[in-house]
Structure 1
């Protein structure tokens, strides 16, 4: 019989929020002066769940001709500005996801993301999700990003739990959560989150 998890930990991009297409568009726009563009298929296959520097290293290798990461890093502030402007318009957190998180708020909840606090915290606040989270582990708060287990171990330590249910969409994130000893629910589309959580917790949590 399934037991109620000690805590639920959410990845952000691609799980709580449908931000990956937005990141992809903003990167392509920011790097357009260099004539660099990455297809959505390559972005999904190689660039989800990693740090911005790792992304630029991979993109530099994929570009034709190749570019060094130091050539691409100066375009990061523009990408960040574009992303903040687009994400501030709202609508990237699904209403059904919000209701589902609201329904499980009596459990310890956390967001564990590789993105920086400055980038993600305003979205969590605007979407009224931050109020539900006992803690948020941002990418600029840990020494080792996913797939290292540190982000999820940090979240569990802050929550005072020894295990958790993790919702993740990326290969790196899934590896991180498994290495931390967590139960992992793989999410392929943010629209799956509410339904998958209900399936896992229906007999244990009252969903309105």
Structure 2
């Protein structure tokens, strides 16, 4: 285990962990897609008179898109948009996103999933996305590890991240697991908060521009700078949990 990873392990003193399932966020964890999302968000919001920065896209990542739009419309325009009105703006954002080059799978993702499967744990995916082409790509890229009915999207919950609902639903869809049996892998503050609020052991992957402290302060139990480093240290993390 590298010295960097040793520094990032937190002594939480938790007991009663019995890992059985790993729940991955999608954007920024499986795919290097956040830069594209940032550009798409900026373009779409500007068309509707809303100022939205790349940093905003990272800070709000994981929330349902319609919730983000309604929040910014209220704050900047003083408008209470209906869910349908917000969805029309989100559709514009999705249009811009899908015109961009396809984001690559992060190095280390497949290796990590292979190790998880070999360890006897199941895999689920929990995303705030409501873009069906992205969900279809997940089943294509990771079909050896996760089935369509183990993917939780914005369509499955009324309250998105940072609420615990998406990860509680992810536990249910993956096989009715308890929070103490779940490991969450996240890259965004709202997602980390959601995983911790759900009661899962939460791993932060800092693939964006935010300071490590932002993710740790939201409740991450451990942080890695890349998914590759987490993959390289999977056995250590699992062993430390099983011994608690």
Report the TM-score when normalising by structure 1.
0.79
What SS does the corresponding residue of 2:23 show, helix, strand or coil? strand
Match of 1:74 in 2: 88
CA distance, structure 2, for counterparts of residue 98 and residue 43 of structure 1: 26
For residue 184 of structure 2, the aligned residue among 146, 162, 166 is: 166
What SS does the corresponding residue of 1:42 show, helix, strand or coil? helix
The answer to whether the 8 Å contact 1:110/1:133 transfers is yes
Q: Post-superposition shift, 1:25?
A: 0.6
Residues 172, 31 of structure 1: CA spacing in aligned structure 2 closer, same or farther, 3 A cutoff? closer
CA RMSD of aligned residues (A): 2.9
The answer to whether the 8 Å contact 2:63/2:190 transfers is yes
CA distance, structure 1, for counterparts of residue 43 and residue 67 of structure 2: 18
Gaps spanning 5+ residues in structure 1: where?
A: none
Residues 27, 54 of structure 1: CA spacing in aligned structure 2 closer, same or farther, 3 A cutoff? same
CA distance, structure 2, for counterparts of residue 43 and residue 124 of structure 1: 21
CA distance, structure 1, for counterparts of residue 196 and residue 238 of structure 2: 23
Deviations 1:34-93 (A, max 9, x none): 454422233333x22211122113333564xx363547653322221222332xx43431
Deviations 1:100-130 (A, max 9, x none): 223323420000111126143123145x113
Match of 2:8 in 1: none
Aligned residues: 198
CA distance, structure 1, for counterparts of residue 37 and residue 108 of structure 2: 22
Match of 2:70 in 1: 57
Gaps spanning 5+ residues in structure 2: where?
A: 1-14, 209-224, 240-244
Is the counterpart of residue 177 in structure 1 residue 192 in structure 2? no
For residue 207 of structure 2, the aligned residue among 189, 193, 197 is: 189
Residues 91, 42 of structure 1: CA spacing in aligned structure 2 closer, same or farther, 3 A cutoff? closer
The answer to whether the 8 Å contact 1:137/1:155 transfers is yes
For residue 97 of structure 2, the aligned residue among 71, 77, 83 is: 83
Report the TM-score when normalising by structure 2.
0.68
Match of 2:57 in 1: 43
